[in-house]
């Protein structure tokens, strides 16, 4: 099977698991894989903690999303807008909970 007949190009120069699961997957999905990871790292804790206190659930989920965005920024797959947005959400959560 040649590269021209495949839907996605075969990964090249993959030296480690993060290179494949973060960089290549983000490239293959057109940049949406990192946004999905940030969305899941925000959404799952938020939904799981909604039964206790929604304001605190938002704060915990925002912090979790911020940490994920910062880690993905280290790999160079998200822009500064993503972690700035998550930092604003954490600041909003702090203001709401005070």
Nearest to 65 by CA among 91, 84, 39: 39
Domain ranges of the chain: 29-97
Q: How many CB atoms lie within 10 A of CB 83?
A: 20
- Say what the pTM is: 0.81
- Percentage of residues of the chain with pLDDT beyond 70: 89
Nearest to 93 by CA among 85, 79, 52: 85
pLDDT band at 5 (very low <50, low <70, confident <90, very high): low
In the predicted structure, residue 75 carries a pLDDT above the cut 90 = no
pLDDT at 4: 60
Phi, psi of 37 (to 5 degrees): -60, -45
């Amino acid at each position: 099977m040649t590269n021209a007949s495949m839907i996605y190009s075969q990964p090249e120069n993959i030296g480690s698991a993060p290179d494949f699961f973060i960089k290549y997957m983000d490239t293959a999905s057109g940049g949406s894989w990192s946004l999905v990871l940030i969305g899941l790292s925000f959404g799952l804790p938020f939904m799981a903690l909604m039964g206790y206190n929604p304001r605190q659930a938002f704060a915990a989920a925002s912090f979790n999303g911020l940490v994920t965005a910062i880690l993905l920024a280290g790999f160079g797959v998200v822009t500064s807008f993503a972690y700035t947005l998550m930092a604003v959400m954490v600041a909003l959560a702090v203001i709401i909970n005070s």
